[in-house]
Amino acid sequence: MIRIENLYKVYGDREVISDFNAVLDKGINNLIIGASGSGKTTITKCVVGLTEPTKGRVLFDDVDFFSLGRKDRAEMRQLIGFMFQGGALFDSMSVEENVMFALRVFTNRSYAEMKKRVDFCLDRVGLSGVNNLMPDELSGGMVKRVAIARAIVMNPSYLFCDEPNSGLDPQTAILIDELISEITHEYQITTVIITHDMNSVMDIGDHVIFLHQGQKWWEGSKKEILDAKNEQLREFIYASSFMKSLKDLQE
Amino acid sequence: MNFLFHFGRYTLFLGKVFARPQKRKLFWDSTFREMVTLGLDSLPIVAIISVFIGAVATIQTASNIDSGLIPLSTIGFATRESMLLEFSPTIIALILVGKVGSSISSELGTMRVSEQIDAMEIMGLNPANFLVLPKVIGLMIINPFIISLSIFLGVVGGYLATVSTGVITVSEYESGITLDFYPFDYVYAMIKTVVFAFIITSVPAYFGYFVEGGSVKVGKASTIAVVYSSIVILILNYIITQLLLL
Ligand SMILES: Nc1ncnc2c1ncn2[C@@H]1O[C@H](COP(=O)(O)OP(=O)(O)O)[C@@H](O)[C@H]1O
Ligand SMILES: [Mg+2]
Domain count, chain B: 1
Taking the C-alpha atoms of residue A79 and residue A67, their distance in angstroms, rounded to an integer, is 17
C-alpha distance from residue B29 to each of A159, B23, B32 (Å): 31, 10, 5
Residue nearest to atom 16 of ligand 1 (CA): A39
Taking the C-alpha atoms of residue A91 and residue A118, their distance in angstroms, rounded to an integer, is 18
**pLDDT at res. A145:** 95
- Indicate whether B41 belongs to any domain: no
**pLDDT at res. B1:** 59
Question: Edge-to-edge strand order for the sheet containing A14-24?
Answer: A14-24, A2-11, A55-60, A63-64
Substitution target in A50, A134, A155 with the highest count of B β-carbons within 10 Å is: A50
β-strand partners of A193 = A31, A161
Per-residue pLDDT tens digits of chain A, which is 251 residues long:
999 999 999 999 999 999 999 999 999 999 999 999 999 999 999 999 999 999 999 999 989 999 999 889 989 999 999 999 899 999 999 999 999 999 999 999 999 999 999 999 999 999 999 999 999 999 999 999 999 999 999 999 999 999 998 888 888 899 999 999 999 999 999 999 999 889 999 999 999 999 999 999 999 999 998 888 888 888 888 887 777 777 777 77
Give the nearest chain A residue to B16 (CA atoms).
A70
Taking the C-alpha atoms of residue A187 and residue A171, their distance in angstroms, rounded to an integer, is 25
**pLDDT at res. A237:** 87
**pLDDT at res. B93:** 97
Instruction: Please determine, for the modelled complex, whether the ipTM score is greater than 0.85.
Output: yes
Residue numbers in B near A97 (CB within 8 A): none
C-alpha distance from residue B231 to each of A178, B64, B199 (Å): 55, 32, 10
CA A86 / ligand 2 centre spacing (Å) = 10
**pLDDT at res. B53:** 96
- Which is nearest to A202 in space by CA: A181, A229, A172? A181
- Indicate whether B197 belongs to any domain: yes
- Indicate whether B223 belongs to any domain: yes
**pLDDT at res. B92:** 96
B1 touches chain A (CB under 8 A): no
- Which is nearest to A97 in space by CA: B218, B114, B26, B109? B26
Give the nearest chain A residue to B110 (CA atoms).
A91
Q: Which domains, from first to last, does chain A contain?
A: 1-79+157-222 (3.40.50.300), 89-155 (no CATH)
- Indicate whether B120 belongs to any domain: yes
Angle at B127 between CA B122 and CA B131, to 5 degrees: 145
β-strand partners of A243 = none
Taking the C-alpha atoms of residue B108 and residue B101, their distance in angstroms, rounded to an integer, is 11
**pLDDT at res. B73:** 86
Q: What is the three-state SS of chain A?
A: CEEEEEEEEEECCEEEEEEEEEEECCCCEEEEECCCCCCHHHHHHHHCCCCCCCEEEEEECCEEHHHCCHHHHHHHHCCEEEECCCCCCCCCCCHHHHHHHHHHHHCCCCHHHHHHHHHHHHHHCCCCCCCCCCHHHCCHHHHHHHHHHHHHCCCCCEEEEECCCCCCCHHHHHHHHHHHHHHHHHHCCEEEEEECCHHHHHHHCCEEEEEECCEEEEEECHHHHCCCCCHHHHHHHCCCHHHHHHHHHHC
Residue nearest to atom 17 of ligand 1 (CA): A39
Atom of ligand 1 nearest to the CA of A40: 22
- Nearest CB among B122, B125, B130 relative to A80 is that of B122
- Indicate whether B7 belongs to any domain: no
- Indicate whether B23 belongs to any domain: no
**pLDDT at res. B237:** 97
- Indicate whether B43 belongs to any domain: no
Contacts of B101 (CB under 8 A, 6+ apart): B200, B201, B203, B204, B225, B226, B229
- Nearest CB among A80, A88, A105 relative to B118 is that of A88
Residue A83, phi-psi category: left (phi > 0), alpha (psi -120 to 50), beta (remainder): beta
CA A13 / ligand 1 centre spacing (Å) = 13
Q: What is the pLDDT of residues A172-199, one digit of tens each?
A: 899 999 999 999 999 999 999 999 889 9
- Indicate whether B91 belongs to any domain: yes
Q: List per-block mean pLDDT (blocks of 10 residues) for chain B, which spans 246 residues.
A: 89 97 95 94 94 94 81 90 95 96 97 96 95 98 97 96 88 90 94 98 98 93 96 97 92
CA A148 / ligand 2 centre spacing (Å) = 17
**pLDDT at res. B222:** 96
Residue B9, phi-psi category: left (phi > 0), alpha (psi -120 to 50), beta (remainder): alpha
Q: Tell me if A38 CB under 6 Å of ligand 1.
A: yes
> Which amino acid type is present at position B162?
T
Contact: B123, A73; criterion CB under 8 Å? no
Domain extent for B93:
48-58+72-245
Count of beta carbons in the 10 Å neighbourhood of residue A208: 26
